[in-house]
Amino acid sequence: MQIQGHFELQFEAVRDAFAALFDDPQERGAGLCVQIGGETVLDLWAGTCDKEGTEAWHTDTILNLFSCTKTFTAVAVLQLVAEGKLALDAPVARYWPQFAAADKAQITVRQLLCHRAGLPALRESLPPEALYQWQTMTDALAAEAPWWEPGTAHGYAAITYGWLVGELLRRADGRGPGDAIVARVARPLGLDFHVGLADEEFHRVAHIARGKGNTGDEAAKRLLTVTMREPLAMSTRAFTNPPSILTSTNKPEWRRMQQPAANGHGNARSLAGFYSGLLDGSLLESELLAELTREHSQGQDLTLLTPTRFGLGCMLDQPQLANATFGLGPRAFGHPGAGGSVGFADPERNVAFGFVTNTLGPYILMDPRAQRLARALGDCL
């Protein structure tokens, strides 16, 4: 496999670990970017980006980053907090009056950001096209009753996060949520990152497909079992209502929409650049960065059915749990995306890390491919 890009010699072992990913004949394409103290020490890509596996992955290939998007969204919200346009402990209904329905008047902005609001899923079945109808989705969530008493537990809002936090963003910023995120977070740092992709960029988007034959870890199997056997369970509804959630990544209407939980498009470089921007203070003042990265939720996740640990819109490291560690320092924070892509920062080593793949793995939290690369990096430092 031809590995493109560049790396500093100190990190040759990481380059070799990246090359080794392609020993698996199912591996389609991937990218890796690592910045230390804002300096790029590795920027690699390889494999193919199209459905047929004939077109090489290019330096400017981008792909759907799924939930890696959530931290970008949270940072845009925290910038609005810094400007006094939102307050973390204010009720959401202050900014979105309709949200007070069904005993939600006390739910705070903070609870939305750290998955404690009790709204990871919708009970009433929606048609597939509802996924692309912003008003339909925000109206449904405004009317929804929480699945547990807000603030008492946490459950990952895999896709509803985008409408909940995105509607807050839209109301406080005055732009579409994706436009606000890109203007606030991506453009100032020169990141090739989009939430709501222009049609003229479609030609460089990698086609995403699942790997076959790997059933994943215990957490993945547990969630799959519930999804198959219990159609009305909260965890099932979180991923299958609207039913188009899991099948839309390659569709034009998915790329175009501004769904800031799951449809950010970018590359490994944009992930590493974003986390460098957090580490160097370009995006948030230290006080708000501390809020972003402080533990807000920890323990059994009512949606994912595995222990998770969250700050505000970012996942915090759980070094003792194989499926929940980024693979570097215990203070690492960031966010994995469905199927294997991940961006994170390790503040102790001043490392910003981005890994992307268009071969979806079956894991719920961290993909072992990214963890192997992060551990190889740690060995070089």
Q: Would you state the structure tokens that stand for residue 301, as one six-digit string?
A: 């996740």
What share of the chain in percent tops pLDDT 70? 100
Predicted TM-score (pTM) above 0.95: yes
Chain centroid, CA 89 distance in Å: 23
CA distance readout (Å), 316 to 35, 207, 251: 19, 29, 31
pLDDT at 84 over 90: yes
What band does 214 get if pLDDT is binned at 50, 70 and 90?
A: confident
pLDDT at 246 over 90: no
Please state the domain extents for the chain.
4-66+192-380, 72-182
Assigned CATH topology for domain 72-182: Beta-lactamase (3.40.710)
Residue for token digits 């595995």?
Answer: 306
pLDDT at 189 over 90: yes
Residue for token digits 């596996």?
Answer: 53
What share of the chain in percent tops pLDDT 90? 97
Return phi, psi of residue 47, to 5°: 90, -155
Alpha helices in the chain (DSSP H): 12-21, 69-82, 109-113, 134-143, 160-173, 177-181, 218-229, 234-240, 252-256, 268-279, 286-293, 368-380
Residue for token digits 């939430």?
Answer: 195
Q: CA angle, 129 as apex, 128 and 134 as ends, to 5°?
A: 120
The reply to whether 72-182 shares the fold of 4-66+192-380 is: yes
Instruction: Tell me if residue 15 falls in helix, strand or coil.
Output: helix
Taking only the tens place, the pLDDT of each residue in 279-294 is 999 999 999 999 999 9
Is domain 4-66+192-380 annotated with CATH 3.40.710.10? yes
Taking only the tens place, the pLDDT of each residue in 151-188 is 999 999 999 999 999 999 999 999 999 999 999 999 99
Taking only the tens place, the pLDDT of each residue in 90-132 is 999 999 999 999 999 999 999 999 999 999 999 999 999 999 9
pLDDT at 248 over 90: yes
Q: What is the reported pLDDT for 1? A: 86
Give the alpha-carbon dihedral of 65, 71, 73, 76, to 10 degrees: -140
Q: How far apart are CA 91 and CA 93, in angstroms?
A: 5
Q: What is the reported pLDDT for 234? A: 97
Cα torsion 313, 64, 28, 48: sign: negative
Reported as type and span, the H/E element at residue 4 is strand 4-7
Q: How far apart are CA 179 and CA 235, in angstroms?
A: 30
Q: What is the reported pLDDT for 322? A: 94
pLDDT at 213 over 90: no
Between helix 286-293 and helix 69-82 the angle, nearest 10°, is 140
